[in-house]
Chains A and B, each alone.
Chain A
C-alpha cells in the first residue's frame, strides 16, 4: 500500500471554488516540500562534525533553527524542545486513532457502495497517519507502547473534536469538510516545522487530508442538492459541527500557554487565532457554493481587515470537553481501551511466535558452534 487510499477510490467532479476546497493549501504543502529540499541542498551551517567539540550544542541548535535547517533525531536538542515535540506529536497521533471512531461509526451504514468504499479508505488513511506519527515520535526516544499507555491512562490528550457524536450520515460530510479542513489549516504550517521527521510526516499527511476534505465537501454538496430531508440533514450537521471545528484551533491567543516558545523553536508558525481566521475565511465561500448556511448571525466581511468577522466558539465548552466532559469522551476512551484489552492475547501470541521462530533460527547455529 502506498499513498492516499481515499484518492484512489475517488474520482468525480463537483463545482468547487478554485481547483478544489483545499487547492491553495495543497500549494503551500508543495512549497514546504520544495523548501525542505532546498534547505537540504544548501547544507547545514558549519556542521560540528567529528571533533568539533568546541561548538556549543545549544548555539549550534539555535543556528540550525535560524537557518531554517531541520533538526534531525541524532542532533543535540534542548530537553524542553524534545518534550514539547513528544507531547504534540503524540497528541496528534492519538487524535488520528480516536478520530477513526466517529466516522467509522458510519462504515457499515454508508448509503451507497461507492461512499462506503471512500469512507473505508479514509478511515484506513487515518490509521496510517497514526502509524507515521507514532513513528515520528519514536525518533525522539519514546516507544509507541509508552504513548498508547499514556493515552489509555488519560495522561495524554487527543483532539477534543472527536468527542462529539456522528448522529447522521451528513456528519460524515461535515467532518470531512470542516474537521479535516481545520486539520489541514492547522497542519500545513507544520510541514515547515523545525523537527525534520515531523515536518516530513506532515507533508505526507496533509496531501491525504486534502482528499478527505474534498470527499466531505462532495457528500455535503450532494446532500444539499438532494431531497428536502437530505438538505435538512446537511444543514443540521453543519450547525452542530461549525463551532466545535472553530474550537479545534485551541484557546484564544491571550490564553494559549505553549505558543510563544513553540514559535521561537519554529514548531509552531502561526497563532491559534490567526489560523482560526484563515479557516473561517476559507469556509465562507465554500459554504456559499454548497448552499449551506454557517450558523453565525455575526458572520460578515470586514473590508478593513480583509477577513470575515465571526463569533468565536464557546471556549468554556472547549475546556469542559478537553477535561473529559464532552458528549463522547467516555465512549471513545472505553472503545479504545476495550480494543486494546481484547487484542492483548493476539499481540502476546505474535510476540511468542516471533520468539519461538527466533529461537528455532539460532538453535542450529548453536549446535554447529
Chain B
C-alpha cells in the first residue's frame, strides 16, 4: 500500500505524544536509574517522531517541517492513539502504557521495516531496535510490580485494567495503511499476555473500546498537553530557536 501523510502522522504523533508524557517524569522518577531510563525512552520516541514528522511534511509538500507539524497543529489535527495522551498516573500506569505501546510499536515497526516504502522501512527498522528495549524495560517493571508487594500488585492490576481498553484502538482495521494494524493484534497478545501471567496479573476482558484518535477525536487530555508543549513556540511566530 502507498504511504500517506495521515499514516505517517499517526506513527509520528504516537511517538511525539509518548515522548512528551515521558518527559514529564524527569526529576520525579522513583529512583535515579529510572530518571535515566525514562529520559532515554523519551529521547528514542522523540527521535522517531522527528524522522516521521519530517517525512510527513515532505510528502505533504506544503512546506511544513517537523516543528510546524508538532507546534502549529491543533488537537483535532493530531492523529495519535488515545493511549499515549492519557495522563501518566502513578508509575504503574506509566509502565502499563509503555508495555502496551512498546508491544504494539514493536510488531508494527517490525512489519513496516519490510515494507515497500524504503524511507519508512529504514525509519521503522531503526525504531524497532529501540522499542525492543522499551518493551523489555516495561516488561521487567510490570513483572516486578505485579509480583512485588500486595500494594504494588494492586496498583499494577488497576493500571492494566485502566489502560487495556485503549489498546483496541491500536488495531482498528485500515486496509489502506502500509501495514494493516488489524493483522497485528494476535502478535501483540502473544507478547503481552505472557507478561501479565508472569506478573501474576489478570488479563482484562475485552469490552469497552474507546477510539477516535486516528480521526482527530481525542480525549480531553490532549489539548492541555498541546497547550503546554506549544505555548512558547506559538508565542513567537516565525522565530528560530
With A339-B30, A350-B144 already in contact, the answer to whether A121 and B231 are too (CB < 8 A) is no
A111 lies within 8 A of B26 (CB)? no
Within 8 A of A (CB), among B20-66: 20, 23-24, 26-36, 39-40, 42-43, 46-47, 49-50, 53, 66
Please give the distance in Å from A3's CB to the nearest CB on chain B.
13
Q: Across the interface, do B27 and A109 meet the contact criterion of CB distance under 8 Å? A: no
Write out the residue numbers on chain A whose beta carbons fall within 8 Å of the beta carbon of B23. 107-108, 116, 120
Given A120-B39, A356-B147, residue A343 in contact with residue B27 (CB < 8 A) = no
Let me know if B168 is at the binding interface, CB within 8 A.
no
Cβ contact within 8 Å between A346 and B152: yes
Interchain CB contact under 8 A, A1 and B36: yes
Knowing A109-B232, A127-B35, say if A353 contacts B151 (CB, 8 Å): no
Of the candidates B49, B155, B229, the one having the most CB atoms from chain A within 10 angstroms of its own CB is: B229
- Overall SS of chain B's interface: helix
Q: Closest Cβ of chain B: how far from A289's Cβ, in Å?
A: 18
A110 to B42, CA, bound (A): 14
A348 with B27, Cβ < 8 A, contacts A113-B50, A117-B47, A120-B39 known: no
Is residue B239 contacting chain A, with contact meaning CB distance below 8 A? yes
- Which of A104, A229, A342, A346 has the largest count of B CB atoms less than 10 A from its CB? A346
Contacts A230-B236, A345-B152, A353-B147 hold; do A107 and B31 have CB atoms under 8 A apart? Answer: no
Which interface class (under 10, 10 to 19, 20 to 34, 35 or more) fits A?
A: 35 or more
* B67 close to A112 (CB less than 8 A): yes
Complex interface: chain B residues within 8 A of A5 (CB): 40, 43
A88 close to B (CB within 8 Å): no
Query: In which size bucket is the chain B interface?
Result: 35 or more
In the bound complex, do residue B149 and residue A339 qualify as a contact, i.e. CB atoms below 8 Å apart? no
Are B145's CB and A349's CB within 8 A?
Answer: yes
Whether B143 is near chain A, meaning CB under 8 Å from some CB there, is yes
With A111-B233, A345-B152 as known contacts, state yes or no: A9 contacts B43, CB within 8 Å. yes
Q: Known interface pairs A100-B27, A222-B240, A342-B30. Does A117 touch B46 (Cβ–Cβ under 8 Å)?
A: yes
Any chain A CB within 8 A of the CB of B91? yes
Chain B residues closer than 8 Å to A131, beta-carbon distance: 32-33, 36
Contacting A at CB under 8 A, from B189-241, are 228-229, 231-233, 236, 238-241
Q: Can you identify 10 A-B contacts, CB atoms within 8 angstroms?
A: A113-B49, A121-B39, A124-B26, A130-B32, A335-B27, A343-B31, A345-B151, A346-B31, A349-B144, A349-B152
What is B's interface to A at a CB cutoff of 8 Å? 16, 19-20, 23-24, 26-36, 39-40, 42-43, 46-47, 49-50, 53, 66-67, 70-71, 90-91, 143-145, 147-149, 151-152, 155, 228-229, 231-233, 236, 238-241
